Amino acid sequence: MPKYALPIAGRIILQIGRDRRTLALIIAAPVVVMTLIGLSFPDKSQLNYIAPALLAAIAFFFSFLITGVSFMRERSQGSLERLMASPVSRLDIVLGYLFGLFVFALLQTLIIFFFTIYAFGVTYRGDLWQILIFQLVIIVGSVNLGIFTSTFARNEFQVIQFIPVIILPQVFLGGILWPVEQMPRYLQYLSDVLPLTYAVKGLRDIMLNGKGLVDVGMDFSVLVGFTILTTILASLSLRRNAG
């Protein structure tokens, strides 16, 4: 563990934790979104089927959003530049921001999950701890992706513009709305390289079919690989922007 990562994470947590409006939005936004989605399904059996895909997609989306905007704010306030000018390594910075922003991404994910399960009575067959571990890997990869993509933006508005470029294609091609197998072959090939495809498939297998992490090892491994890749890319993008 790089020695400066945890102090950086602690500063991020304290900074966001003191912003009451941001905390309120972190808590309220997923509740409002999931309430609207849950009420739009009059048939509970349909909600039970789509719930795993929604949990994966919404967690991925909110984690990406909160990370991208928060990291961009750090850059605009000069905090990131001061860290870059210090002896702290690029990996320290990436892991520090990852751990700090992960806390709030995790909070949102837990709110989304438990609110959906208990407020709408969504049933699941897999073990709860395995579902949550799978979700953790999803949001870690999304947080890293948010850090990486935000390095290419000059303001928070540009960060938001990455959503239709990065998130929406995965929503339509990741098997959330309809099975990947029913799409044209060339779109299936594209779906095969999207992390949300494996997040949706793996979480559905666990929640609907009662499978364990070992049974969804392929999907889990792809998401872990995606997390490692985005960590490396985020570190390299910081180095590229150092000058």
List pLDDT tens digits, range 157-177. Answer: 888 888 888 898 999 999 888
Averaged pLDDT for residues 179-192: 92
pLDDT digits over 61-98, tens only? 989 988 888 888 887 887 777 887 777 887 888 888 88
In the predicted structure, residue 243 carries a pLDDT above the cut 70: no
The span from the CA of 34 to the CA of 58, in Å, is 9
Distances (CA, A) of 230 to 124, 135, 141, 157: 30, 17, 7, 22
* 240 — pLDDT class (breaks 50, 70, 90): very low
Tokens read off for 162: 């990455």
Q: What total of structural domains would you count in the chain?
A: 1
Give the whole-angstrom CA distance, residue 179 versus residue 198: 13
Q: Is the pLDDT assigned to residue 194 strictly greater than 90?
A: yes
Query: Rounded distance, CA 77 to CA 75, Å?
Result: 5
**Residue 66: predicted pLDDT:** 87
Type of residue numbered 235? S
Q: What integer best gives the mean pLDDT of the chain? A: 87
| Residue 152, domain extent | 5-240
pTM summary value: 0.87
* pLDDT tens digits along 25-48: 888 988 898 899 888 887 778 888
Q: What are phi and psi of 107, to 5 degrees?
A: -60, -45
